[in-house]
Every structure is written in structure tokens, then in C-alpha cells.
């Protein structure tokens, strides 16, 4: 918002494109667009929640976690944002795309790559690499003060050393305090889930039917990608699913400590992992591990449109076509426990043998 407000004061024609990717707090996308419009700014609200859910469930189907096993929810959203807004930017006649990412960081690389591929006719402005802007806004405090003087909402004027990047698929927490390895992860305040100790005291059973690695029914009811992730998020929140402290290797070679939460992704991802164990043979499982790593790395680095990811994602679809069936899970105090399977598809290359039926080749499938 600082960039837009300052450019407008310099008599630059500014349009705000506010994407709804399911983010929560401090202001929703709809609240942000409404406030900007009420203040006389030109603002567009774009609903990309369906696209965000599709991207997230593609990652779950590929088991494409990054580094220490967290989901690429922040990096995945960068592709969703640029691809979802590219045509609207052109239609509005925008010649410059400005974003507020820190110079030299992960997101600068991601946005620059996607903009170059999807909007080559639109120049990318990275304000915090421009000397004249750095002189005017050397830090967060100066940006917050600038907006506060212009009566922007308190939710966006805070200069606290705490940052949350959230969307429908997950949230990441960074702060000055968390950068210290001596600080426990409980310094982060969960946004989408709760700490396991605060989860429900009664276990909850949940059934999810998958077709080609994608959830198509929950508790017997048909669901879209958006509905599936929304329901899984709510269930995961009730039971304190998905909080992990991670020290990640960033694109620019530095390290960053974050706390990640993605309750719905962990719920559905656990189901997919279980289906892979049952439905895939050994060679397919080994290949899928390599594909998962290629996909997660490409998403993290902002290379979704490049050949490596396109090829890996295409190969993944061939393998995940085998992931069909019903998975019943139990959610309780931070754990997702797989209880049973049903309606699994018989595939000739998957050798089904149990130790306890006279050494025969038989698998009990409900």
C-alpha cells in the first residue's frame, strides 16, 4: 500500500489489484479493496481462491513438500497471483507492475520470473531496490508512519518486526524474535490452526475419497478443490494439525527460520501419502520421490513455467492416476492417523501380498 499511496502523490496513475487467495488478517482482500475504493482509489478485487486451491492440491498429489517437509504455500501463491492477474493487467492498460518485496529476497526472484514469462510487455518495478525510494522509506517504521499520517487503517500501519504471509493453503510466520534459534516456536501465534495441546479433546473421524490423487468427496459429499481444502483446514484447526518450525535454505543462499502451518494440506497430504504406499509399486514410488523433489524445488524458486517443472508435473499425473479410493483418518491432538482404506483400484503391477495368509498373494481391501 505504501508504494501505491506514494506513487499517487507523485501524480502517477495507480490502480490497485487486490487478489483474494484465501488470506486472513490483518485485513481480508475484500476489506482492503473496499477501503481503497472508499478512499477514492481505483481498486479491483480478483477472486483467485479456486486457482489457489487447485495449485495446493496439485502439490498434495505430488507430495511436493520442501526442505524439512513443509508445504510450499507462500511460493505457490506467487504463481497464482501473477498468472491470475496477468490478463487483467493487460486489459487495464497497465505498463508497470510494482510489488513491495524486499530486494534480493525469494519473492523478488519469483515475481520477476513469472512476470517476465506471463507479462513480458509489462515492466516490473521493485521499489525497495530503487535508491530514491530507499531514501524516502528506509525501513518498515517509515512506511508505517507514512500510511498512518494519511489515516490508513491501523492493521496496515504497524511497523512491528513480525510478518505473516497467509493464503488458503497455509501461513508462514517470520519475526525478529523467531530469527534467534534460542527462541521456541511457540513465540508464533497460530493463524489457521492451534497448538496441539489446545486441540479438541475428542478424536474426529473423517473420510476422503480420491480420484487420481485429488479429493472428490469428504464425508460422502462431493467437493470442489476449494471446498475440499476449506473443509480440511477447518478439521485440521479443530485438532491442532500442522505447526512446524523450519530453518530453510533460501533462493539467495541465506537461511531463514519460520514457523509454518497448513492444516488442510497436512490432512489431505497424509491421505495421499497413504494411498501411494498402498497403490504404487516400488519403482513408481522411487520415481515419485524424485518427481516430488523436482516439483517442490521449482515451486519454491519460482520456476513453475520452466521445462523441469512442466515435465515433472506431467510425469506426476501419470503416476497419481493410480491413486483412487477412500481413506478414513482420525484427527486428534496434532496427529493424523490413517485407519482404513476402501474401494481401492486393482492394478496388475502392484504386487499384493500379506504375510499372514499362508504366504499367498492376497490383499484384503474393504
Within-domain flag for 359: no
Q: Answer yes or no: do 140 and 206 share one domain.
A: no
Average pLDDT rounded to a whole number, residues 190-203: 96
Q: Is 193 helix (H, G, I), strand (E, B) or coil?
A: coil
- Is 118 inside a domain boundary? yes
For residue 285, what are the domain limits? Answer: 168-342
Identify whether residues 209 and 141 lie together within a single domain: no
Tell whether 236 is covered by a domain.
Answer: yes
| Distance in angstroms (rounded) separating the CA atoms of residues 115 and 263 | 30
Torsion, CA 261, CA 85, CA 2, CA 21, rounded to 10:
-20
144 falls within a domain: yes
Tell me: do 115 and 143 sit in the same domain: yes
CATH code assigned at 87: 3.40.50.620
Kindly state the average pLDDT of the residues 325-352: 86
In a domain, 349, yes or no: no
- Non-local (6+) Cβ contacts of 188 within 8 A are 173, 175, 178, 243, 259
CA distance 202 to 332: 7
26 vs 313, more confident: 313
Alpha helices in 163-242 (DSSP H): 225-238
One domain for residues 95 and 192: no
Distance (Å, whole) CA 81 – CA 83: 6
Q: Measured between alpha carbons, how far is 126 from 133 in angstroms, rounded to an integer? A: 10
Question: DSSP H helical segments within 150-218, as ranges?
Answer: none
Q: Are residues 333 and 185 both part of a single domain? A: yes
Distances (CA, A) of 136 to 105, 251, 282: 20, 28, 59
Q: Is residue 365 part of a domain?
A: no
Q: Would you say residue 353 lies in a domain?
A: no
Count CA atoms within 13 Å of residue 244 on its CB side. 17
Find the CATH number of the domain harbouring 258.
3.90.1260.10
- Mean of the per-residue pLDDT values for the chain? 89
Give the 3-state secondary structure of residue 223: coil
Residues 313 and 273 in one domain: yes
Q: pLDDT: is 5 or 270 the higher one? A: 270
For residue 102, what pLDDT is reported?
66
Does residue 93 share a domain with residue 76? yes
Beta 15-20 vs 42-47: how paired, if at all?
A: parallel
Residue 354 lies in a domain: no
pLDDT at residue 159 in the model: 57
Are 258 and 317 contained in the same domain? yes
Q: Do residues 106 and 176 share a domain?
A: no
Question: Cβ(275)–Cβ(213) under 8 Å?
Answer: yes
Distance between terminal CA atoms of the chain?
A: 55
Number of structural domains the chain divides into: 2
Whole-prediction pTM: 0.91
Note the pLDDT of residue 54: 98
Task: Please indicate whether residue 147 or residue 55 has the higher confidence score (pLDDT).
Answer: 55
124, 112 Cβ separation under 8 angstroms = yes
Whole-number pLDDT of residue 105: 74
Give me the DSSP letters along 259-296. Answer: EEE-HHHHHHHHHHHHHHHHH--HHHHHHHHHHHHHHH
Asked whether residue 156 falls in the same domain as residue 172, the answer is no
One domain for residues 157 and 174: no
225-238 and 263-279 helices, crossing angle to 10°: 110
Residue predicted with more confidence, 347 or 122? 122
If asked whether residues 112 and 200 sit together in one domain, one would say no
Amino acid at each position: 500500500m505504501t508504494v501505491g499511496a506514494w506513487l499517487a502523490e507523485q501524480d502517477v496513475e495507480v490502480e490497485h489489484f487486490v487478489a483474494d487467495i484465501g488470506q486472513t488478517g490483518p485485513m481480508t482482500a475484500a476489506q482492503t479493496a473496499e477501503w481503497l475504493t472508499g478512499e477514492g482509489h481505483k481498486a479491483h478485487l480478483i477472486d483467485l481462491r479456486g486457482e489457489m486451491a487447485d495449485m495446493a492440491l496439485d502439490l498434495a498429489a505430488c507430495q511436493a513438500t520442501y526442505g524439512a517437509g513443509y508445504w510450499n504455500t507462500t511460493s505457490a501463491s506467487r504463481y497464482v497471483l501473477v498468472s491470475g492477474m496477468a490478463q487483467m493487467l493487460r486489459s487495464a492498460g497497465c505498463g508497470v507492475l510494482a510489488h513491495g518485496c524486499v530486494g534480493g529476497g525469494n519473492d523478488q526472484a519469483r515475481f520477476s520470473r513469472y512476470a517476465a514469462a506471463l507479462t513480458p510487455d509489462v515492466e516490473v518495478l521493485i521499489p525497495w531496490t530503487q535508491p530514491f525510494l530507499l531514501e524516502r522509506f528506509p525501513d518498515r517504521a517509515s512506511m508505517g508512519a507514512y500510511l498512518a499520517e494519511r489515516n490508513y487503517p491501523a492493521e496496515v500501519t504497524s511497523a512491528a518486526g513480525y510478518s505473516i504471509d497467509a493464503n488458503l493453503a497455509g501461513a508462514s510466520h517470520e519475526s525478529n524474535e523467531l530469527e534467534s534459534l534460542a527462541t521456541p516456536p511457540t513465540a508464533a501465534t497460530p493463524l489457521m490452526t492451534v497448538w496441539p495441546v489446545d486441540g479438541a479433546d475428542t478424536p474426529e473421524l473423517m473420510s476422503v475419497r480420491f480420484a487420481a490423487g485429488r479429493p472428490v468427496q469428504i464425508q460422502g459429499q462431493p467437493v470442489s478443490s476449494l471446498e475440499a481444502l476449506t473443509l480440511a483446514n477447518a478439521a485440521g484447526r479443530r485438532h491442532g494439525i500442522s505447526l512446524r518450525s523450519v530453518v530453510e535454505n533460501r533462493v539467495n543462499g541465506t537461511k531463514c527460520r519460520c514457523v509454518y502451518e497448513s492444516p488442510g494440506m497436512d490432512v489431505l497430504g497424509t491421505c495421499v501419502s497413504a494411498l501411494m504406499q498402498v497403490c504404487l509399486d516400488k519403482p513408481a514410488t522411487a520415481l515419485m520421490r524424485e518427481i516430488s523433489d523436482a516439483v517442490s524445488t521449482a515451486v519454491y524458486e519460482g520456476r513453475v513455467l520452466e521445462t523441469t517443472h512442466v515435465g515433472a508435473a506431467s510425469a506426476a499425473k501419470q503416476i497419481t492416476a493410480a491413486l483412487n479410493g477412500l481413506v478414513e483418518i482420525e484427527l486428534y491432538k496434532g496427529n493424523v492417523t490413517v485407519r482404513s482404506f476402501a474401494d481401492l483400484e486393482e492394478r496388475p503391477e502392484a504386487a499384493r501380498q500379506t504375510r499372514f495368509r499362508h504366504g499367498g498373494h492376497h490383499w484384503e481391501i474393504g
